[in-house]
């Protein structure tokens, strides 16, 4: 894949406060939960840790506060081997997330307050121009301001890097974003919001992917949870089935695990469908563990699952 090396990810860090219960409480109701965890999270941060643990050489661009949650972030990057190009801000808290985890199914619902990372701007991207322009892969999402994401995608695209865009949380985005995406990777809920129709069948997923291609993306990947993922280009459509690595405990970080694994595989020169398969294996292991970043598997674990399957 050319002389370019490594993966640069722009995104947010948020301390995940995860509560396990039988259901979400109603307004003015208090429920007793069955579990609680606190750990590192945020989509971009999770993807960076997932990619690094999968074997990628990763640089992460973000902002944190000068507080205990910010120290948690830096410790997580040091442990995973992520290069942290992270601005530490005074007087602004580090991001945090409320996560509800269904104690039976492992399904989740999330509220994110980005804190310092909500102030990420084009100046953060410009300050990392050399890293982005020399990278093989640039990946970003929508938890930080859209303007910064677009600046990063545009900068990377001009420099010849492969761009991966995870449009999450889903919201309206200008059509000009799509042409900056070598790969656009929503889950079925995000894809449905982008294209305006539900995605409950394979045909609906394929139709949604086709719309994303018509808007300008070179390739679309729609992740479908326990069903796997759809890879679609103008000349190819392929469903990659999910793997089973054990009992599903917590699906919170599944999409981030997929993206971290996918980006690593692409950075190593894998064909896209094989990279999707690698991403599915990464996610399959992550969902058997509680939490997000702490659940991300090692390269040895991913390779072992791929060999056994």
Q: Say if residue 228 carries a ligand binding annotation.
A: yes
DSSP H helices in 22-67:
43-53
Q: Say if residue 261 carries a ligand binding annotation.
A: no
Q: Say if residue 16 carries a ligand binding annotation.
A: yes
Q: Say if residue 4 carries a ligand binding annotation.
A: no
Q: Say if residue 291 carries a ligand binding annotation.
A: yes
CB 181 within 8 A of CB 153: yes
Is 256 one of the annotated active-site residues of the chain? yes
Q: Say if residue 213 carries a ligand binding annotation.
A: no
Q: Say if residue 227 carries a ligand binding annotation.
A: yes
Catalytic residue selected from 182, 202, 256, 303: 256
With a CB cutoff of 8 Å and minimum separation 6, the contacts of 280 are 228, 229, 240, 241, 242, 243, 258, 261
Q: Say if residue 187 carries a ligand binding annotation.
A: yes
Q: Say if residue 143 carries a ligand binding annotation.
A: yes
**Phi/psi at 223 (5° precision):** -85, 140
Distance CA 122, CA 145 (A): 9
Q: Say if residue 42 carries a ligand binding annotation.
A: yes
Q: Say if residue 43 carries a ligand binding annotation.
A: yes
Nearest residue to 286 via CA among 17, 36, 34, 54: 54
CB 258 within 8 A of CB 221: no
DSSP H helices in the chain:
43-53, 68-80, 122-127, 129-134, 146-159, 188-195, 202-214, 254-267, 272-286, 299-308
Q: Say if residue 45 carries a ligand binding annotation.
A: yes
Q: Say if residue 289 carries a ligand binding annotation.
A: yes
Bridge partners of 294, per DSSP, are none
CB 14 within 8 A of CB 42: yes
CB 93 within 8 A of CB 115: yes
Question: In whole angstroms, what separates CA 305 from the centre of its chain?
Answer: 21
Would you name the residues annotated as active-site residues?
Answer: 256
Known binding-site residue numbers for substrate: 14-16, 42-46, 143, 256
Known binding-site residue numbers for ATP: 187, 223-228, 255-256
Known binding-site residue numbers: 14-16, 42-46, 143, 187, 223-228, 250, 252, 255-256, 286, 289, 291
Known binding-site residue numbers for K(+): 250, 252, 286, 289, 291
């Amino acid at each position: 894949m050319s002389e370019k090396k490594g993966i640069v990810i722009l995104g947010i860090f948020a301390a995940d406060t995860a509560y396990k219960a039988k259901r979400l409480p109603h307004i003015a109701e208090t429920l007793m939960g069955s579990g609680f965890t606190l750990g590192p999270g945020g989509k971009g941060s999770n993807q960076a840790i997932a990619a690094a643990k999968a074997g990628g050489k990763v640089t992460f661009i973000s902002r944190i506060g000068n507080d205990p949650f910010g120290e948690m972030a830096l410790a997580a990057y040091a442990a995973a081997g992520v290069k942290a190009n992270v601005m530490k801000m005074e007087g602004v808290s580090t991001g945090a997330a409320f996560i509800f985890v269904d104690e039976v199914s492992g399904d989740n619902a999330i509220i994110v307050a980005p804190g310092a990372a909500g102030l990420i701007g084009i100046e953060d991207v410009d300050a990392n121009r050399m890293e982005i322009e020399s990278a093989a892969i640039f990946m970003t999402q929508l938890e930080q301001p859209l303007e910064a994401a677009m600046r990063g995608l545009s900068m990377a695209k001009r420099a010849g890097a492969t761009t991966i865009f995870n449009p999450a949380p889903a919201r309206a985005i200008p059509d000009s974003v799509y042409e900056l995406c070598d790969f656009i990777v929503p889950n079925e809920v995000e894809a449905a919001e982008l294209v305006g129709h539900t995605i409950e069948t394979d045909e609906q997923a394929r139709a949604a992917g086709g719309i994303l291609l018509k808007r300008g993306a070179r390739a679309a990947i729609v992740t479908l949870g326990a069903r796997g993922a759809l890879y679609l280009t103008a000349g190819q459509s392929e469903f990659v089935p999910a793997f089973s690595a054990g009992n599903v405990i917590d699906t919170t970080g599944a999409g981030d695990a997929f993206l971290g694994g996918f980006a690593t595989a692409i950075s190593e020169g894998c064909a896209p469908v094989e990279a999707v398969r690698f991403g599915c294996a990464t996610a399959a292991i992550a969902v058997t563990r509680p939490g997000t970043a702490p659940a991300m598997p090692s390269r040895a674990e991913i390779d072992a699952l791929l060999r056994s399957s």
